[in-house]
Amino acid sequence: MKQYLTIKELTEAVKGQITPRMVRHYHALGLLSPAARSTSNYRLYTRSDVQKLQKIVALKQQGFQLSHIRKLLEENDKNTSSPNKVMATLQQQYLSVIQQIVRLKQTAAALEGLLGRDISCQAVQADALAQMRLLQLETDGGVGDLEQLWDSWDAAAHAHPEGFTESLQQLLPDLSDRSEIEADLLSKLVLACGDCSLLPFVKLSDTAIRSARESLNRKCQIVADVQPVFTALDRTRLAHLGTTVATLIDDPHVNDPAEAEQEFWQEKSWFDKLLKIEKECILVIGYAPSVLMAVCEAIENRQLEPALVIGMPIGFSHGMVAKRRLARSGVPYITITGNFGGGLLAAVALNALVESTIDKPHCHCYLK
């Protein structure tokens, strides 16, 4: 690389869809130091600027806000020999973000209480919308008036069961660009966790549904990572398809993600068992990040050739790494990015595919 780069050459070196306009914006925000100037007054950049901009792009892609990135870079520059201070800054930023999420979740829950009302509750919805201003908790009415309002609306809920389908129609984003089978899968995942914000985090490879259906119809082997995930699988429908169902870590005493993670690390026999799983199987991983990591490694080494990997392990660091590695593995997959996940959601994903394979055997809406 030459000693100095123009702003255009800087963006080309960094890549990642960065533009000169964005670079100038980062200068204005204090993310980038003022650039040197040529005799013609053009901004000039060095290798150090390339590396710093790459950090900014990488952090932004991971979901960091620009204000947090600036503080993090400043702290990192001041405390290169003090990682504890950097971690303290990160923790402070994390707690600030969590507080924002809580406030937004509270607002979302209030809106869901209105939008999620089914037809039988529509009689009170007009009144609810007319009094929407009372949802603003900081107004003069206060929390007491809001509680009374909810009590009057909630009275209609005792007369009938909840209409989940009608509620989801109001709450879910437009899924018309998704196939019928994929939309059904996404809806079932939302119902399983009660959180509509899950949808943007669910990722399916283009061939995931097709590969799953073809393998299920070939009576493939289904393998869950631990017993609780195995228990949540719809074995009645799986038996109807003629599939075999097994557990990788089949120790009945392993009942939570921490135990599953340690057990897989400490007992080499589980990894050996993983390598003996049948070709074109479907793996359902909902607990241990290390299991998913080992699966990805085996795939990369051509020691494992699954038809589908449902990878939704719980984990606050390794789980996210394993999911990103799965997305790059080249095999059909279904995952939930970030720290969303768990055994129930992994099992629900498979159960939805099994149900649609049986109930809609001739549907081809998922083909791309």
pLDDT in tens, the chain (368 residues): 567 888 888 888 887 678 888 888 888 888 888 778 887 788 888 888 888 888 888 888 777 788 878 877 776 666 555 667 767 777 877 787 778 888 888 777 777 776 776 666 655 555 555 555 555 544 454 445 556 656 666 666 666 677 777 778 778 888 888 999 999 999 999 999 988 889 999 999 999 999 999 999 999 999 999 999 999 999 999 999 999 999 999 998 998 889 999 999 999 999 999 999 999 999 999 999 999 999 999 999 999 999 999 999 988 889 999 999 999 999 999 999 988 899 999 999 999 999 999 999 988 887 76
- 57: three-class secondary structure by DSSP: helix
- Please give the pLDDT value at position 339: 85
Alpha helices (runs of H) in the chain, residue ranges in sequence order: 7-14, 20-29, 47-61, 66-78, 83-115, 122-130, 142-154, 164-171, 180-193, 208-217, 227-232, 235-241, 257-266, 268-275, 289-300, 318-327, 343-359
Mark 44-80 as b/e (b = at least 16 C-beta within 10 Å). Answer: bbbeebbebbebbbebbeeebeeebbbbbbebbeeee
**Is 313 contained in some domain?**
yes
313 with 289: CB under 8 angstroms?
Answer: yes
Q: Are residues 27 and 127 in the same domain?
A: no
Q: Are residues 120 and 188 in the same domain?
A: no
**Is 39 contained in some domain?**
yes
Q: Are residues 201 and 291 in the same domain?
A: yes
Q: Report the number of distinct structural domains present in the chain.
A: 3
Q: Are residues 162 and 214 in the same domain?
A: no
Domain that holds residue 32: 7-78
Say how far apart CA 138 and CA 141 lie, in whole Å. Answer: 8
Q: Are residues 11 and 148 in the same domain?
A: no
Tokens at residue 341, please? 């996940």
Q: Are residues 228 and 310 in the same domain?
A: yes
Long-range contacts of 38-45 (CB under 8 A, 24+ apart): 38/4, 42/6, 42/7, 43/6, 43/7, 44/4, 44/5, 44/6, 45/4, 45/5, 45/6, 45/7, 45/9, 45/10
Which amino acid is present at 70?
A: R
Mark 8-19 as b/e (b = at least 16 C-beta within 10 Å). Answer: eebbebbeeebe
Sheet holding 333-336, edge to edge: 202-204, 333-336, 308-311, 282-285, 221-226, 244-249
- Please give the pLDDT value at position 47: 86
The DSSP output letter for 173 is P
Q: Are residues 163 and 182 in the same domain?
A: no
Q: Are residues 195 and 304 in the same domain?
A: yes
Say how far apart CA 252 and CA 263 lie, in whole Å. Answer: 12
- Please give the pLDDT value at position 137: 45
- Please give the pLDDT value at position 120: 62
**Is 172 contained in some domain?**
no
**Is 367 contained in some domain?**
no
CB atoms within 10 A of CB 30: 13
What is the helix (H) or strand (E) element at residue 225, kind and residue range? strand 221-226
User: What's the Rg (C-alpha) of the chain?
Assistant: 25
Alpha helices (runs of H) in 139-256, residue ranges in sequence order: 142-154, 164-171, 180-193, 208-217, 227-232, 235-241
Q: Are residues 335 and 249 in the same domain?
A: yes
> What's this model's pTM, rounded to 2 decimal places?
0.74
- Please give the pLDDT value at position 330: 94
Place of tokens 């061939």: 207
Q: What is the dihedral of CA 187, 188, 189, 193, to 10 degrees?
A: 100
Q: Are residues 162 and 215 in the same domain?
A: no
